[in-house]
A and B are shown apart, each in its own frame.
Chain A
């Protein structure tokens, strides 16, 4: 089994929850402080903190405390493992179709350049 599968399991488990996905979607725009993150959810702060801990343990987010304020950010590259896994699940026909598409793009760029 490939080495990255433990990481993949953790990331998929973390993203299986709609609240945690919403947090990821929010953080994709910019880092946020915890109270700001909690605002759109009708959920007690301890519950949100629990979700953040799952995301942090999976390596999806990181957080830093400055004084009394904790800022949470999406960890760059944290979701690459999903791309990798999805890419490996492509069938030969899909890969050929991808490569044909790339070939067409490359040759059309050449046509434009000349």
Chain B
């Protein structure tokens, strides 16, 4: 079976208001222990490689395997950091070693009345079988959801 070569391009903006000061949310990204606590994984995920280097040019790696799902690998480079204001990264995703996507993500932190407005804007290019929501992605999603469920309880 030959693999059809194709790209899908997609972007989104996600805005959340959190009832917490900018500094607390910032620390959740800037402090390794904190970032690991919420970003890294849940109990349902076997953690793999992890690297954290929060500075411009620094590289983050987060690898994990959902209990019966694929190994997902995230590798990011910080391209711009303005303290308590914004974080910009470029990142790549792999599922079971297959290159899934390349993206640019910008995270902005804005103080508002009762906390912080967090704005996540992203543009990505999705490769070949990942141009649509393939079966691998679905499995991964389910694993992540399980992880979230056990994180909450």
Is chain B a partner of chain A in the same complex?
A: yes
Residues of A with Cβ closer than 8 Å to B? 87-88, 90-104, 107-108
Chain B residues touching A, range: 20 to 34
| Secondary structure class of chain A's binding surface, majority of residues | helix
Contact B145 A87 (CB under 8 A): yes
Residues of B with Cβ closer than 8 Å to A? 12, 14, 16, 18-20, 24-25, 28, 34, 37-39, 118, 120, 122, 141-142, 144-145, 148, 151-152
* Closest chain B residue, CB of each to CB of A97: B16
Given contacts A92-B144, A104-B25, contact A99 B151 (CB under 8 A): yes
Residues on B with C-beta less than 8 A from A91 are 12, 14
Contact B145 A103 (CB under 8 A): no
Contact A95 B144 (CB under 8 A): yes
Residues on B with C-beta less than 8 A from A101 are 16, 18
Given contacts A92-B144, A103-B28, contact A97 B120 (CB under 8 A): yes
Report which of A88, A93, A99, A108 forms a contact with B14, defined as CB distance below 8 A: A93
> How far does the Cβ of A64 sit from chain B's closest Cβ, in whole Å?
33
Contact B20 A97 (CB under 8 A): no
